[in-house]
Homo-oligomer: A and B are copies of this chain.
């Protein structure tokens, strides 16, 4: 039975369609939903809706649900529709009438946002740790091979001298800037939605700052309608931020695929990182890099989905917003995985210093020749034209 259900049962096909993947998706949110529910229950005690012993019972049972979920033993049925219903039904089954009180002063609208934002906060931390590990891998690469020179490219053509240090450091600094974006994204989502109901408040005096503090939010999101309108919007900033991590990995993957073309051979992956072909026996393919490259596009398409889906709608919740859960969760998992895999790639990367040096052919140094003339007082453009004649 659903939380809102009256006597009429929902048409079976309609039920199946509306419920969709929520039961599976919500399993990942149970922990955070219970954490927010515990804070909410404590607040209900503070404002006199629950008694001390009631709140203790609820907390005990909510913790048990967290434990069950951690062991993959908590289930959400299609009939239950979502995690919120499954939790309330579990509580009512275990605690009787007390379970029916937990939804006082909230709607599933603020409840799910609380769970999601707690989930986001944890995933942001995981991303940050992933970036740190990635950057440490780069540091090790620089320590081992930083001084190896090889041609820098523009337009996929040799340009000027580059080095492993310059190359690796470019990604490291970019990731540090990504951390700033993660910080801002976190600042946005670190606003407690609890106590805003379905977007138009709760007809009861609730202590929102108290719940927020207990749930671990830095501040409350004051305006109840803004809470709903920010759904999908904050998520789009999250996915955008993840896409910035992913574009760095996409570019690094493209670089490594190119640098490890045997015809160039500046770098190579160990065999344990390469796959083969079912028809061509000689092949050693960089599938791992190609998949990382491709997954950038998975992430940006999640962002696009969310940005397109939430537009042209009036203020307030619409069921459309239900479909915003999956893209952002998918984007987090993808990014975290790719950061981890690319850290392993860097740690196992072979730099072929001999091939690098051989590739430092004359034209890579053409610009330096120009500057030798500039140092002799020749105007830059004249020096440039003089040297360029050598390459006509």
Contacts and interface: CB of A to CB of B under 8 A. Distances in A.
Interface stretch (A65-73, A115-123, A209-217, A284-292): A284-292
Say how many copies of this protein the assembly contains: 4
A380 B103 contact: yes
A277 B14 contact: no
Contacts of A243: 236, 307
Contact of A305 (B106, B301, B363): B301
A278 B159 contact: no
B104 A374 contact: yes
Given A13-B340, A225-B170, A301-B301, A152 B316 contact: yes
A190 to B, nearest CB: 11
Interface stretch (A26-34, A55-63, A129-137, A172-180): A172-180
A208 interface: no
A334 B234 CA distance: 22
Nearest to A384: B281
Contacts of A285: 154-155, 157, 319
Given A167-B315, A392-B6, A278 B323 contact: no
Given A374-B204, A392-B7, A251 B225 contact: no
A302 interface: yes
A320 B51 CA distance: 55
Interface string A142-179: 00000000001111111111100011011101100100
Q: Which of A5, A49, A159, A250 has the most CB of B within 10 A?
A: A159
B101 A154 contact: no
B244 A280 contact: no
A110 B264 CA distance: 28
Interface in A302-333: 302, 304-305, 307-320, 322-323, 327
A371 B159 contact: no
Q: Which of A100, A154, A248, A264 has the most CB of B within 10 A?
A: A154
Given A155-B317, A254-B312, A271 B173 contact: no
A300 B368 CA distance: 41
Given A272-B10, A281-B367, A156 B320 contact: no
A181 interface: yes
